Structure 1
Amino acid sequence: MRSRRGAGLRVAVAVSMALSAVTLSALPSASAADTPQETVVPATLRTAHESASLFYADTQSGTDGAGAQGVFHSLEGHTGLVWTRYADGSSTPVPAAPDGASNRGTGSDVLAQVKGSRIDLWDATDGSTHTVQLPEGQQLLGVYGTTVVSFRARWTTAGPRGSSTCSPRIRTAPRAM
């Protein structure tokens, strides 16, 4: 009887140990708990479209930032101006204007950077820059594409109110060959 009792006890101990081993192997080990886990947080959907605004919408001169191949504009998330090509939607940052210069739209894919009598014409389609220097005594009237229009104002004091005349001069940036 003793041997049956001892055998039953041995079986109970063996079963207990086997169950303990299975239960312990199912628990995470200490080394797994120390490993950082990646957490993925899905992006929230925007409720509004990305904002952009057309550059230099000038109603007086009729020039703006829209050209035949793309458009100059400011774009949410970008500093400065960008030019975006219509065909593929790719955007190119506009080079910063020199100190004291101002950017002007030309109604084309060319941006005029004006500082005094110097006008740099940056062509966004190929990245080239051409410079036009106004002749002494001329003032800038406008830039249309690669055409720079300047004038010389002549003031006379003839008559009670005086009069002025405007002598336009047209200069065009040279085309690369």
Structure 2
Amino acid sequence: MKITPTSIPDVLLIEPKVFGDARGFFFESFNRQVFREATGLDLDFVQDNHSRSGQGVLRGLHYQVQQPQGKLVRVVRGAVFDVAVDIRQGSATFGQWVGMTLSEENQQQMWVPPGFAHGFLVLSESADVLYKTTDYYAPVHERCIRWDDEALAIGWPLAGRTPLVSDKDARAPGFHAAIATVGT
């Protein structure tokens, strides 16, 4: 397993060892001991989620004000542009974002720590995204930040297209208004 810190050092790019031949491939998508040795993080994942979305769908930027979730994200079909935004007040990277393409071809994963908002844009015809979480989904604590907020200036690879977002995500407040609710 290769671990690469991103421009926000707590967000990690994870590249598993893939064993492939003419028959296909095999890799461990998660091994707690190997992950702990490689990252220094000893995590208890409590929930696995699976999302399928069509091309141009943008989900996010989601977070929980209580029970914040760390997420280990991977794509098993298709490709997405995956984004993490640091919403940890007092952090040296507060308000910064990092994004990377995760796909079935590159088999990379992204570790999004608790205290980050998370979202993704589907780049392929459709995509299946799997992610493990360190805390349970708590709808009463879920919040979101508007995906196109100018304060964040996320470089979504939209190529001039308008993404398809949920009503909830379309109504989301901007970054500064949203972070005022963190911890409440």
Is TM > 0.5 for Structure 1 vs Structure 2? no
- TM-score, length basis structure 1: 0.27
